Amino acid sequence: MKCRVSQQCGSCQYIDMDYQQQLQKKYNYYQDLYRDFHVSVHSIHGMNNPYAYRNKVIVAFNQKYEYGLYEEESHKIVPIKKCLLHDEETHYILDKLQCLFKKYRISIYDNKRRKGFLRHVLIRRAIQTNQTLVVLVVSDSIFKGSKNFSQELIKFCPSVKSIVLNINKRQTSIVLSQQEKVLYGKGFIVDELCGLTFKISAQSFYQINHEQCTKLYQKVIQLLDVKDGDVVLDTYCGIGTIGLILASYVKNVIGVELNTQAYKDAINNAKMNHVQNIHFYNQDATEFMKEQARLKLKYDSVIMDPPRAGSTKEFIQAIHKLKPKNVVYVSCDPHTQVRDLKEFKKIGYIFQDVYFYDMFPHTEHIESIVRLSYSKI
């Protein structure tokens, strides 16, 4: 498949390259990052069909009501009618939104003049349940005709189970604000992953590639090699996906998440799945770890899935004091993972294998997993 706007958009660096060549190119580059550790770097787990995999899409509209993605490193919109990474339902909904914006004469926000109503549209898809959350990012909380607008959209698009107004008055590049107003539905959708049900709201962290996420989480469970009586700490836990999946294998799981909305979703997800042996804390992961180390608490294993910036030296020093038998480190940026692994090596935690998952086909990004075990220096 060929992308018509690949040169202007720049979001998918490898979209015009054969998929197997993409995997090999990424493997050659990323395996080199780990060469100083002298470990086994396994081949990348790719996809059978590496298209239409994104379950989260953010687009902007121009003054002609054309929707698209931003040109790389600019605020210029590249109009698209079809992105190869978005599913058909997403495009169908965007087309209907386009018609409704024209019909209701929705003014498009102008970044230079700082005037207009609609700034962005966020669409989140629950692939297994075929539910869609539509988030309209706007500059004002007053949306005249919102009830009729919502009724028309859900009439045309039955998969839309909730419509949310996100009011963002800030002059920054950050898309979403904390202020929201539900126009239709409950303000969230529900998806199924690894046999459990998860609530997804506008700001929830949820992996964008359902198929690859399932494979990755299964690998995490395998690497942890837990026992019935184990207590596991799940740091940077988001909406609680990994911890909730793991809960049936162990005695207790403790989840830690800084984002308040994701933390609330994690609690609701535990209730929704009737999981009683998991507890969540709304704290910064590093501060929580320092506190646990000070209290000299015991954990058999720790899961860490930090943001692209990676973890901190203080977090790793806390691991040194807690001394869990295993640490499974999931990373969306091997560069920062390698930096952190060097710190782990200093405190006696070593690893033998690196596993790659192509969570983001057609881009230069990749997800990596290692299992660290304590070995006396």
Q: Domains of the chain, with CATH numbers?
A: 11-49+209-374 (3.40.50.150), 56-201 (2.40.50.1070)
| Segment 282-311 mean pLDDT | 97
Global pTM reads 0.92
What pLDDT does 267 receive?
96
Please report the pLDDT score of residue 3 as a whole number.
84
Indicate the pLDDT class of residue 174, thresholds 50, 70 and 90.
confident
Phi, psi of 354 (to 5 degrees): -125, 135
Give the per-residue pLDDT at 203.
Answer: 86
Per-residue pLDDT at 261 exceeds 90: no
Instruction: Identify the CA nearest to 240 among candidates 219, 216, 259, 212.
Output: 259
SS3 string of 267-315? HHHHHHCCCCCEEEECCCHHHHHHHHHHHCCCCCEEEECCCCCCCCHHH
- Name the band, by pLDDT with cuts 50, 70 and 90, for residue 171: confident
Q: Are 92 and 123 in contact (CB under 8 A)?
A: no
> Active-site residues: which are they?
332
Interval 349-367 mean pLDDT: 97
| Residue 100: φ, ψ to 5° | -70, -35
pLDDT at 322: 96
pLDDT value, residue 180: 94
Number of neighbours of residue 140 by Cβ within 10 angstroms: 12
Evaluate whether 299 touches 322 at the Cβ level (below 8 Å).
Answer: yes
CA distances from 275 to 214, 217, 249, 278, 312 (A): 19, 18, 12, 7, 30
pLDDT at residue 377 in the model: 58
- For residues 50 and 217, what is the distance between their CA atoms, to the nearest angstrom? 19
Q: What is the pLDDT of residues 147-162, one digit of tens each?
A: 999 999 999 999 999 9
Q: Which residues does 328 contact at the CB level (< 8 Å), separation at least 6?
A: 220, 223, 224, 301, 302, 303, 304, 369, 370, 371, 372
Residue 39 and residue 352 in contact, taking contact as beta carbons nearer than 8 Å: yes
Q: Which residue has the higher pLDDT, 233 or 73?
A: 233
Helix and strand numbers, DSSP H then E, in the chain? 10, 18
Q: Work out the mean pLDDT of the chain and round it to a whole number.
A: 94
Q: What is the pLDDT of residue 70?
A: 83
State the DSSP string of 216-234. Answer: HHHHHHHHH---TT-EEEE
State mean pLDDT over 66-84: 85
pLDDT at 5: 84
Rounded distance, CA 178 to CA 68, Å? 24
Q: What percent of the chain has pLDDT over 90?
A: 85
